[in-house]
Amino acid sequence: MDDDGLSRVFAALADPTRRAILARLAEGPAPVTELGRPFDMTAQAISKHLKVLERAGLVSRGRQGQWRPCRLEVAPLDRASGWIEHHRAAWEDSLGRLEQEIVRIQEGRGHAHD
Protein backbone atom coordinates (compact mmCIF):
# COMPACT_ATOMS: atom_id res chain seq x y z
CA MET A 1 0.00 0.00 0.00
CA ASP A 2 1.00 3.60 -0.46
CA ASP A 3 2.39 5.39 2.52
CA ASP A 4 0.62 8.71 2.15
CA GLY A 5 -1.77 9.50 4.96
CA LEU A 6 -5.04 9.49 3.08
CA SER A 7 -4.24 6.15 1.46
CA ARG A 8 -3.53 4.64 4.85
CA VAL A 9 -6.81 5.93 6.22
CA PHE A 10 -8.89 4.62 3.33
CA ALA A 11 -7.03 1.30 3.36
CA ALA A 12 -7.70 1.00 7.08
CA LEU A 13 -11.41 1.61 6.44
CA ALA A 14 -11.50 -0.99 3.66
CA ASP A 15 -11.93 -3.91 6.07
CA PRO A 16 -15.22 -4.78 7.80
CA THR A 17 -13.49 -6.00 10.97
CA ARG A 18 -11.65 -2.72 11.32
CA ARG A 19 -14.79 -0.71 10.59
CA ALA A 20 -16.61 -2.67 13.29
CA ILE A 21 -13.78 -1.93 15.71
CA LEU A 22 -14.03 1.76 14.90
CA ALA A 23 -17.81 1.63 15.32
CA ARG A 24 -17.31 0.13 18.77
CA LEU A 25 -14.70 2.75 19.64
CA ALA A 26 -17.09 5.50 18.61
CA GLU A 27 -19.12 4.49 21.67
CA GLY A 28 -16.09 5.06 23.87
CA PRO A 29 -12.58 3.75 24.58
CA ALA A 30 -12.01 0.05 25.13
CA PRO A 31 -9.16 -2.40 25.78
CA VAL A 32 -8.01 -4.85 23.12
CA THR A 33 -9.73 -7.99 24.41
CA GLU A 34 -13.09 -6.28 24.54
CA LEU A 35 -12.62 -5.04 20.98
CA GLY A 36 -11.82 -8.55 19.83
CA ARG A 37 -14.65 -10.31 21.66
CA PRO A 38 -17.26 -10.07 18.87
CA PHE A 39 -14.96 -11.65 16.29
CA ASP A 40 -14.12 -15.26 15.55
CA MET A 41 -10.46 -14.44 15.31
CA THR A 42 -7.29 -14.75 17.40
CA ALA A 43 -6.14 -11.91 19.64
CA GLN A 44 -3.05 -11.59 17.43
CA ALA A 45 -5.21 -10.83 14.41
CA ILE A 46 -7.04 -8.12 16.36
CA SER A 47 -3.70 -6.75 17.46
CA LYS A 48 -2.64 -6.48 13.83
CA HIS A 49 -5.86 -4.72 12.88
CA LEU A 50 -5.28 -2.24 15.69
CA LYS A 51 -1.76 -1.61 14.46
CA VAL A 52 -3.15 -0.78 11.02
CA LEU A 53 -5.68 1.60 12.57
CA GLU A 54 -2.96 3.16 14.71
CA ARG A 55 -0.62 3.69 11.75
CA ALA A 56 -3.51 5.41 9.98
CA GLY A 57 -3.91 7.67 13.01
CA LEU A 58 -7.44 6.44 13.60
CA VAL A 59 -6.82 5.11 17.09
CA SER A 60 -4.44 6.07 19.87
CA ARG A 61 -3.49 3.78 22.70
CA GLY A 62 -2.78 4.44 26.33
CA ARG A 63 -1.28 2.16 28.93
CA GLN A 64 -3.16 1.46 32.09
CA GLY A 65 -1.80 -1.46 34.03
CA GLN A 66 -1.81 -4.55 31.86
CA TRP A 67 -4.47 -3.04 29.61
CA ARG A 68 -3.89 -0.92 26.56
CA PRO A 69 -7.06 1.12 26.15
CA CYS A 70 -7.77 2.30 22.60
CA ARG A 71 -9.39 5.60 21.72
CA LEU A 72 -10.90 6.75 18.46
CA GLU A 73 -9.16 9.70 16.80
CA VAL A 74 -11.46 11.63 14.51
CA ALA A 75 -8.99 13.90 12.69
CA PRO A 76 -8.16 11.33 9.98
CA LEU A 77 -11.87 10.61 9.54
CA ASP A 78 -12.36 14.30 8.92
CA ARG A 79 -9.66 14.36 6.29
CA ALA A 80 -11.10 11.30 4.55
CA SER A 81 -14.63 12.63 4.65
CA GLY A 82 -13.31 16.01 3.54
CA TRP A 83 -11.63 14.53 0.48
CA ILE A 84 -14.84 12.79 -0.53
CA GLU A 85 -17.04 15.82 0.01
CA HIS A 86 -14.65 18.10 -1.84
CA HIS A 87 -14.73 15.99 -4.97
CA ARG A 88 -18.42 15.29 -4.74
CA ALA A 89 -18.93 19.05 -4.68
CA ALA A 90 -16.68 19.47 -7.71
CA TRP A 91 -18.83 16.92 -9.51
CA GLU A 92 -22.04 18.77 -8.61
CA ASP A 93 -20.45 21.97 -9.90
CA SER A 94 -19.48 20.39 -13.18
CA LEU A 95 -23.03 19.12 -13.54
CA GLY A 96 -24.21 22.67 -12.90
CA ARG A 97 -21.90 24.05 -15.56
CA LEU A 98 -23.13 21.41 -17.97
CA GLU A 99 -26.71 22.45 -17.31
CA GLN A 100 -25.88 26.09 -17.98
CA GLU A 101 -24.12 25.03 -21.16
CA ILE A 102 -27.24 23.21 -22.31
CA VAL A 103 -29.38 26.21 -21.52
CA ARG A 104 -27.04 28.41 -23.55
CA ILE A 105 -27.23 26.05 -26.51
CA GLN A 106 -30.99 25.90 -26.27
CA GLU A 107 -31.03 29.69 -26.34
CA GLY A 108 -29.47 29.41 -29.79
CA ARG A 109 -26.12 30.89 -28.90
CA GLY A 110 -24.21 27.69 -29.74
CA HIS A 111 -21.52 26.53 -27.36
CA ALA A 112 -20.32 29.36 -25.22
CA HIS A 113 -17.03 31.18 -25.53
CA ASP A 114 -17.77 34.58 -24.08
Partner DNA sequence: GCGATAATCAACCCATCGGTTTATCAACCC
Partner DNA sequence: GGGTTGATAAACCGATGGGTTGATTATCGC
Stretch near a second copy under the rule CB under 8 A, chosen from 15-23, 36-44, 62-70, 103-111: 15-23
Residue 90 lies near a second copy (rule: CB under 8 A): yes
Q: Which of 32, 27, 68 is nearest to 49 (CA)?
A: 32
Long-range contacts of 12-17 (CB under 8 A, 24+ apart): 12/52, 12/53, 12/55, 12/56, 12/58, 13/80, 15/49, 15/52, 17/41, 17/49
Q: Choose from DNA, a second copy, none: what does 42 bind? Cβ within 5-8 Å by kind.
A: DNA
Binders of DNA in range 69-88 (CB under 7 A):
69
Name the minimum Å distance from CB 108 to DNA.
27
Distance of CA 89 to the CA centre of its chain: 17
Name the minimum Å distance from CB 80 to DNA.
16
Question: Which residues in this chain contact DNA in the complex, by CB under 7 A?
Answer: 1, 11, 14-15, 17, 31-34, 40-52, 61, 65-69
